[in-house]
Every structure is written in structure tokens, then in C-alpha cells.
Amino acid sequence: MGSRIRFSRNRSVLWVGWVVGGCCCLASWAAPVPGGGGAEWKVPGRHASAPNPVAPDEASIELGRKLFARECASCHGARGLGDGKSAKDLEKPVPALTRVEVVAQTDGALFWKTSVGRKPMPAFQSLLSDDERWHLVNYLRELSASRAPVTPRFELPDPARETLAALITSYLDVGRTLAADQDARPGAAVVLERAQALAPSDGIMPEGCAPWTRVRQEILEAATALAAAADLAGERHAYEDLSDALALALADFARGGDEPLSLYRCPSGPEGKTISQWVQLGTTPVNPYGCGAEGAHFVGLLLPRPERHAG
């Protein structure tokens, strides 16, 4: 099984890595997502800066894994994609744990939110001990830290695979334009046209339909915002949202072409966000957010199609 995208951490700064899991009790951890509504859930400063007293050793991570499977996976799914069996019964979509809004938070913030709860998430301070909640945070942080190339889980039927490849080509063109501090509106119009051409879930294997429907909508919303942006700052902000959506799509769905794509992150981006990511060709970082190559970190490769094994 291929690696999954995740966002990992040191104690004070979070960085992009890889993920294989998810948690129902995280459904309310995210800040508002495009089209999702809802107010931001702010953590009191003293709780956000609280240190994690439990070392993230093998014993802690194993205890966290068991808690995760028992308390969380039913909503967020075993791979953290918001597709657990109970997710369909909730009023709001369950956010993927790979979102920046979920993971760009301190251990203390995640512990506090798990403790006090907010619908549909219960208050786990009455269900789990302090140590158990810290074990859960450690498990979420340490899920599959490998940088092995990510292979998509699902095939896309033709011509959806080629349409996705064409969208990626136009997305890469816009990224290079933004990196040069130039107006990306002409290229953004092409991105929107190709995003609108992405097919619905017809022909996708059943378990891939819900993830495709969700990420296709996110791509379309971000592409629409990119085409409507009035200035360079707005274009970069929308491009970041599009990058997040496309990173998810490329981690799950095969595309046309043979070249692997590189996933990069930097510790700042539009509007001073904690962390930003983008996808590009090649391994020399071309930062679309105006921050230069300094501070850009290679996360891993996104392969174009599932691995095929003989036998």
C-alpha cells in the first residue's frame, strides 16, 4: 500500500509529511473550509502552547493507534479521508486530516479540542484520560513518516485520467507564472475550463466515488476562485487552495502521463499562513507564493498511476 499525505510536526512548527489514517473525533478540528461554512474554532493561548508531556515513543504510538481505531476511524475512515462508515450520518462533511487547517496546529491545541469537544465531536475529557488523549495526538503525528513515493489508490476511466493530466499541466503553468510575480489570469481561465471538464464519478470503482466527488468539488471551487482573483495576492491565495485539493487528488487517483510530480512545502505563504504546499515538476523548488526557494522543503513524489505487480 502506498504512503498517504500527512502533515507532521516538531513540537512548535508543523511540516508536511505523509498520512495513512484518520479520526472521527477530529471532525470539528478544522478551520472553515471552502464552501463549508462555520466559525473558526480558536484555542485559548495557554492551551495552544501547552507542551506534550508524553514522549512519542513506540509504546505511546501503539496505544494511540488502538484508541484511534476504537474512537475515530468510524467517521474519518482508516485513511483519514473523511469516508468512515458513520460520516454519511453527520450533518456536515467530515474534513480530511490532510488539510492544512487540521494539522497546522500545536499538540496543545489538538489536545484541548479533543478534550472539550464541539459537535459532532464529543468532549473526550470525560471519555479518555489525559494520557490517552496525548497518546492519540502522538499517534496522529507519527502516522507513516515515510517519504516513499505516493502511488494513487484508484484508477480513473478515460478520458477522466487525461483530463486530470491536462488540468495539472495548466496548474503547473500558473505556478510558474506566480513564481515570476506575474499576472496569472490568462492561465487561470484555462485552469477553470479544465476543472469544469473533470468528469463526475461515473466509471470509478465504488470505493473511490465518494473521495472523487469530494475532491472534484474542492478543485472546482478553488479553480473558480483563482479565475476570479483580482490581484496577485488573491491568485496566490486561491492557488494554495487549489494545490491542497490537487495534492489530495493526485495521492488517490491515477492521471495520464509518465512523469512523477514533486510535492513541496514552505513555512509561510499567502496571508502569513503557517504552512503552504504546492505540486511541481522537477526537484528544484519553484515557489509560487513569492517566498523564494529558501525554506522550501521536498516532501515526496506523487506517481502517475498505481503500481502493478506481476503474478
Summarised one tens digit per residue, pLDDT across range 141-156 is 765 444 456 788 888 8
Sequence-ordered strand ranges (E) for 137-295: 261-266, 276-280
Residue 133 has a pLDDT of 95
Residue 275 has a pLDDT of 64
Q: CATH fold of 5-142, please? A: Cytochrome Bc1 Complex; Chain D, domain 2 (1.10.760)
Position 91 confidence tier, pLDDT thresholds 50, 70, 90: confident
pLDDT higher at 188 or 113? 188
Residue 13 has a pLDDT of 30
Cα gap 258→4, rounded to integer Å: 20
Summarised one tens digit per residue, pLDDT across range 257-286 is 888 898 887 766 666 555 688 999 987 889
Summarised one tens digit per residue, pLDDT across range 222-242 is 999 999 999 999 999 999 999
Q: Where are the domains of the chain?
A: 5-142, 160-302
Residue 33 has a pLDDT of 38
Residue 35 has a pLDDT of 35
Average pLDDT over residues 87-96: 74
Average pLDDT over residues 35-45: 66
Q: Tell me what the pLDDT averaged over the chain comes to.
A: 78
Residue 97 near residue 75, CB atoms below 8 Å: no
Residue type, 20: V
Residue 79 has a pLDDT of 59
Average pLDDT over residues 232-255: 92
pLDDT higher at 96 or 92? 92
Pairing of strands 297-302, 261-266: antiparallel
Its pTM surpasses 0.75: no
Q: What are phi and psi of 143, to 5 degrees?
A: -65, 115
Percent of the chain topping pLDDT 70: 72
Say whether pLDDT at 170 is over 50.
Answer: yes
Q: How far apart are the first and last CA of the chain?
A: 17
Residue 142 has a pLDDT of 65
DSSP 14-81: EEEEE-----GGGTTTSPP-TTT-----PPPHHHHT----S---HHHHHHHHHHHHHHTHHHHTTTTS
Check residue 207 and report its DSSP letter.
H
